[in-house]
Amino acid sequence: MEKLALLGGKPARDKFLVFGAPDIREAEIKEVVATLKSGWLSTGPRVARFEEDFKSYIGCKHAIALNSCTAGLHLALEIAGIETGDEVITTPLTFTSTANVIIHKGATPIFADVERETGNIDPKEIKRKITKKTKAIIPVHLYGRPCRMDEIMKIAKENSLFVIEDAAHAVEVYYRNKKIGNIGDLTAFSFYATKNVVTGEGGMITTNNDEWARRLRVLRLHGLSKDAWKRYSAEGFTPYDILYPGYKYNMMDIQAALGIYQLKRVEKNLKIREKYFRMYNQAFTEIPEIETPSEEEHIRHARHLYTILLRLERLNCGRNQFAVALQAENIGIGIHFLALHLSSYYKKRFGFKRGDFPNAEYISDRTISLPLSTKLTEEDINDVIEAVRKVIRYYKR
């Protein structure tokens, strides 16, 4: 048997393959340079252009650019009037920011378990968790796969609840021919460095409510009545007023300069992601030690992350040991995600314990995300496949 690199063998590839490498091209670089030369670096004409482009792509009435998806979730809770004593239902299988923003508003995150086959929040579990204190639901479209939004919206309507979609992984996604960003009351997107549309840091919030959009634009920049571009542009100086105690959540033109061209390529890039996704699936489907992502009709998956689940009962190692061995083969990996209710803060604050959300725990204990980026080549994908096979061969029972 071939010796693992972890044990002194030759790695599957010579150069380390970075997980989630951003695909930045010449058009973005030129636009960033032009932005720097323009003298306008903060929120200005390129942010306005990126907002218009994103609004057209999603098909919504309003798109408000921000410095992160987390900011979008926080502002959405503000619009929904969430306050101390309220409850917001969300998933334990997500990045911590989804639940953190609920804490920041003084409300309580109520976790509902996920579907084991998709990793997305289970509508049946949502219904079980609704109380008189429940004010909103935050479904997370995990890995780029949409949640069952028809069922979630029906539950929300029956119980007069806001629906705030965490679409950090889901720019390209459709659910039953409806574009994500047009279904819930408010939707937050991410343009972080590893996302399918990259601005380094950055986010967008979409809505079809005119009044909410007006408030969001004011709240994202200190609660000022006029943003800096309008105050200091050629239109002439206009004094500002403070309408709300707002936040410093605005996007910079430097970020938007990247986003404008990233968004132009998003549909072309999706085809590449789908090809690499198929390559992984074809290679791993017949390996009994691995569970591959399930496929569904009536959706379009963003192919943001490719995750495998290890069948630990067939292996002589745990997930963490497998991950260490794979990285020693020069393959970068991610873990998406560690179940929030088992993290130190949430266990201590709310008394969560193992067994509270068994499906989320099952995925959390077994998941590994493999490199998936349009910057990669087919040769890179084949290197990943061979490295996974190599580690499986060594640890299989």
Taking only the tens place, the pLDDT of each residue in 54-76 is 999 999 999 999 999 999 999 99
pTM of the model: 0.96
Looking at 264, 279, 295, the residue that finishes a domain is 264
pLDDT of 232 over the 60 cut: no
Q: What CATH number did the domain enclosing 299 receive? A: 3.90.1150.10
- Name the token pair of 364: 């959390």
- Active-site annotation holds for 195: yes
Over the stretch 19-54, which tens digit does the pLDDT of each residue have?
Answer: 999 999 999 999 999 999 999 999 999 999 999 999
pLDDT of 233 over the 60 cut: no
Catalytic hit among 105, 179, 195, 390: 195
Say whether both 100 and 229 belong to one domain: yes
Looking at 264, 291, 312, the residue that finishes a domain is 264
Mean predicted confidence (pLDDT) in 227-234 = 58
Say whether both 232 and 358 belong to one domain: no
> pLDDT grade, residue 226 (50/70/90)?
confident
How far is the C-alpha of 87 from the C-alpha of 248, rounded, in Å?
26
Return the number of other C-beta atoms located less than 10 Å from residue 182's C-beta.
17
Range of the domain at 387: 5-20+266-395
How many domains are contained in the chain?
2
pLDDT of 138 over the 80 cut: yes
Say whether both 125 and 186 belong to one domain: yes
> pLDDT grade, residue 289 (50/70/90)?
very high
Say whether both 192 and 290 belong to one domain: no
What distance, in Å, lies between the first and last C-alpha atoms of the chain? Answer: 14
Over the stretch 142-174, which tens digit does the pLDDT of each residue have?
Answer: 999 999 999 999 999 999 999 999 999 999 999
Give the H/E segment covering residue 88. Answer: strand 87-90
Say whether both 15 and 63 belong to one domain: no
Q: What is the pLDDT of residue 36?
A: 97
Say whether both 36 and 179 belong to one domain: yes
Say whether both 259 and 270 belong to one domain: no
Distance set, CA 356 to CA 9, 81, 222, 299 (Å):
41, 29, 40, 30
Percent share of the chain, pLDDT over 70: 97
Mean predicted confidence (pLDDT) in 11-22 = 96
Mean model confidence pLDDT for the chain? 96
382: left (phi over 0), alpha (psi -120 to 50) or beta: alpha
Percent share of the chain, pLDDT over 90: 94
pLDDT of 187 over the 90 cut: yes
Across 238-247, 258-267, 303-312, least confident range? 238-247
> pLDDT grade, residue 228 (50/70/90)?
low
Say whether both 198 and 208 belong to one domain: yes
Q: What is the pLDDT of residue 263?
A: 98
Say whether both 165 and 286 belong to one domain: no
pLDDT of 227 over the 80 cut: no
Within 13 Å, how many C-alpha atoms sit on residue 284's CB side? Answer: 30
Q: What is the pLDDT of residue 241?
A: 83
Q: What is the pLDDT of residue 234?
A: 57
Mean predicted confidence (pLDDT) in 119-144 = 98
Mean predicted confidence (pLDDT) in 214-218 = 96
C-beta separation of 363 from 119 below 8 A? yes
C-beta separation of 85 from 133 below 8 A? yes
Say whether both 292 and 349 belong to one domain: yes
Rg (CA), the chain: 22
C-beta separation of 52 from 77 below 8 A? no
Say whether both 196 and 343 belong to one domain: no
How far is the C-alpha of 41 from the C-alpha of 28, rounded, in Å?
15
Say whether both 251 and 309 belong to one domain: no
149 exposure class (CB count in 10 Å sphere: 0-12, 13-18, 19+) = buried
Within 13 Å, how many C-alpha atoms sit on residue 360's CB side? Answer: 28
How far is the C-alpha of 45 from the C-alpha of 225, rounded, in Å?
18
Q: What is the pLDDT of residue 240?
A: 80
The arrangement of strands across the sheet holding 178-179 comes to 178-179, 174-175, 299-300
Q: What is the pLDDT of residue 242?
A: 87
Amino acid (one-letter) located at 310: L
Sequence-separated (6 or more) residues with CB below 8 Å from residue 286: none
Looking at 264, 287, 308, the residue that finishes a domain is 264
Q: What CATH number did the domain enclosing 169 receive? A: 3.40.640.10
